[in-house]
Structure 1
Amino acid sequence: MNQMTPDAKPAAQTDTRFGRVIAVSGTRITGLLEGKKTPRVGELVKIATANSTVFGFVTGLSIDVPSTAGVEVRRVELEVVGEIDHRQGARAVFQRGVATYPSLDDPLIAADGEDLRRVFTRPGRQEDGARIGSLHQDPSIPAVIQPAELLGKHFAVLGTTGAGKSCAITTILRAILGRHPAAHIVILDPHNEYATAFPGQAEIVTPQDLELPYWLLNFEELREMVIGTGSPQPDADAVILNQIVTEAKRNLAPDPEAALAITIDTPVPYRLSDVAKIIDAAQGKLDRPSDMAAYHRIKERFQAMQQDRRLAFMFPGGSGMGGGTAALQGLITRDSMAKILGRLFRVPVAGRPVTVLDTSGVPAEILNVVVSLLCRMSFDFALWNEQKAPILLVCEESHRYAPEDERAGFEPTKRALSRIAKEGRKYGVSLCLISQRPSELATTVLSQCSTIFALRMTSQKDQEFLAAALPESSHGLMGELPSLRNGQAIAVGEGVALPTRIDFDRLADEHQPHSRTAPFATAWQEDQLTAADLTEIVRRWRRQN
Structure 2
Amino acid sequence: MNTPVSAPGARADEPEAPPFIERRGKPAVPPRRIAHVVSVSGSQAVAVLERESGNQDEARVEIGQLVKVPTPLATVVGLVSAVSAPAPASGGGAEDIRLIEINLAGEVVDDPKDGRLSFRRGVSHLPTIGDAVLLADRHDLTRVYTQPNVATIEVGSLFQDAAVPARFLVDDLLAKHFIVVGTTGCGKSCALTAILQRVLDAHNHAHIVMLDVHNEYPTAFGDQAELINPTNLNLPFWLLNFQELSAALTSGDAYHDAEIEILSDAVIAAKRRYSDASSNRQIARRPGDSGGVTVDAPTPFRLSDVLSFIDDQLGKLERTQKTLPYRRLKNRIETLASDQRYSFMFGSLTVQDTMTDILGRLFRVPNDGRPITVIDLSTVPPEILDVVISVISRLAFDLAVWSKGGLPMLLVCEEAHRYAPANAGQGFEPTRQALSRIAKEGRKYGLSLALVTQRPSELDTTILSQCSTVVAMRLSTERDQQVMRSNTHDGALDLLDFLPLLGDREAIVLGQGVGMPMRIKFADIASKGVPRNLNAGFSQSWSKPNLDRAGLEAIVSRWRHAGRERNQG
TM normalised by structure 1 equals 0.91
CA–CA distance in structure 1, aligned partners of residues 60 and 529 of structure 2: 40
User: Aligned residue for 2:487?
Assistant: 469
From 260, 274, 299, give the equivalent of 2:291: 260
- 1:156-183 per-residue CA deviation (whole Å, 9 max, x = no partner) reads 1111111111111111111111221111
Query: What's the offset of the Cα at 1:38?
Result: 3.9
C-alpha separation in 2, matches of 1:28 and 1:85:
20
Aligned with 1:144: secondary structure? strand
Aligned mates of 1:357, 1:497 — CA distance in 2: 33
**Aligned partners of 1:353 and 1:311: how far apart in 2?**
27
More displaced 10-residue stretch of structure 1: 80-89 or 20-29 = 80-89
The residue identity in structure 2 corresponding to 1:359 is: L
The farther-off stretch of 300-309 and 246-255 is 246-255
Task: Report the Cα distance in structure 1 between the residues aligned to 2:303 and 2:272, rounded to whole angstroms.
Answer: 13
Residue of structure 2 equivalent to 1:297: 328
Instruction: Return the alpha-carbon distance in structure 2 between the equivalents of residues 427 and 279 of structure 1.
Output: 41
Matched, 1:456 2:480: no
Q: 2:239 aligns with which of 216, 219, 228?
A: 216
* Other-structure match for 2:317: 286
What residue is the counterpart of 1:227 in the other structure? 250
Question: 2:206: which partner in 1?
Answer: 183
Instruction: Give the AA of the match of 2:148.
Output: P
The separation in 2 between residues aligned to 1:19 and 1:534, in whole angstroms, is: 67
Write the letter of the residue equivalent to 2:214.
H
1:118-155 deviation per Cα after TM superposition (whole angstroms, max 9, x unaligned): 11111222xx2111111111111111112211111111
Q: Give matches, 1:57-456, under 5 Å.
A: 57-67=79-89, 69-86=93-110, 88=112, 90-125=115-150, 128-229=151-252, 231-253=253-275, 254=279, 260-288=291-319, 290-317=321-348, 328=349, 331=350, 333-456=351-474
Contact 1:18-1:38 at 8 Å conserved across structures: no
SS in 2 for 1:541: helix
Partner SS state of residue 407, structure 1 = helix
Moved more, 341-350 or 288-297: 288-297
Hey, what's the Cα distance between the residues in 2 that align with 1:132 and 1:38?
A: 26
SS of the equivalent of 1:71 reads: coil
Residue 540 of structure 2: SS of its match in structure 1?
A: helix
Aligned length: 518
Deviations 1:376-399 (A, max 9, x none): 011011111222221110000100
8 Å Cα contact 2:490-2:511 kept in structure 1: no
Q: Is residue 19 from structure 1 mapped to residue 35 from structure 2 by the alignment?
A: yes
Q: Provide the C-alpha distance between the structure 1 equivalents of 2:304 and 2:556, rounded to a whole number of angstroms.
A: 34
Aligned to 1:33: 49
Post-superposition CA distance 1:459-506 (Å, at most 9, x none): 111111101111241212212211111111111111111110111111
SS of match in other structure, 1:303: helix
Which residue type is aligned with residue 97 of structure 1?
Answer: G
With 61-70 and 417-426 compared, the bigger mean Cα shift is at 61-70
Distance in 2 (alpha carbons) for counterparts of 1:307 and 1:289: 32
1:79·1:473 contact (CA, 8 Å) conserved in 2? yes
- Give, in whole Å, the separation in 1 of the partners of 2:117 and 2:552: 71
The RMSD of aligned alpha carbons is 2.0
Contact persistence 2:490–2:510 (CA under 8 A)? no
Cα distance change of structure 1 residues 283 and 532 upon mapping to structure 2, 3 Å threshold: closer
1:321 maps to none
1:107 deviation in Å? Answer: 0.8
Q: How far apart are residue 530 of structure 1 and its match? A: 3.0
1:510 CA drift (Å): 4.7
Amino acid at match of 1:226: L
Q: Is the 8 A contact 2:49 2:98 kept in 1?
A: yes
Q: What's the secondary structure of 1:60's corresponding residue?
A: strand
Q: Distance in 2 between matches of 1:282 and 1:390?
A: 46
**For the Cα contact (< 8 Å) 1:150–1:495, is it kept in 2?**
yes
- CA shift for structure 1 position 280: 1.3
3-state DSSP of counterpart to 2:115: helix
Which residue identity does 1:347 align to in structure 2?
Answer: V
- 1:51–1:87 CA contact under 8 A, matched in 2: no
Q: Is the contact between residue 111 and residue 118 of structure 2 (CA under 8 Å) also seen in structure 1? A: no
1:65 Cα offset (Å): 2.7
* Amino acid corresponding to residue 52 of structure 1 in structure 2: A
2: CA distance between counterparts of 1:533 and 1:149? 49
Would the aligned equivalents of 1:165 and 1:434 in 2 still touch at CA under 8 Å?
A: yes
How far 1:108 sits from its partner (Å)? Answer: 0.9
| Deviation, structure 1 residue 523 | 1.4
Query: Do 1:135 and 1:502's aligned partners in 2 also have CA atoms closer than 8 Å?
Result: yes
Change (3 A) 1:511 1:534: closer
Cα distance in 1, alignment partners of residues 172 and 548 from structure 2:
54
Tell whether the 8 Å contact from 1:52 to 1:87 is kept in structure 2 after alignment.
no
Instruction: Tell me what 1:10 maps to.
Output: none
Cross-structure match for 1:322: none
Instruction: Mark the runs of 5 or more structure 2 residues left unpaired by the alignment.
Output: 1-12, 15-29, 52-57, 564-569
Distance 2:202 2:292 in 1: 43
Q: Aligned equivalents of 2:392 and 2:490: distance in 1?
A: 35
1:492 to 510, 522, 527: 510
Identity %: 45
Change in Cα spacing, 1:530 to 1:273, as seen in structure 2 (3 Å) is closer
Q: Counterparts of 2:339 and 2:105 in 1: how far apart (Å)?
A: 58
Matches of 1:496 and 1:443, distance apart in 2: 23
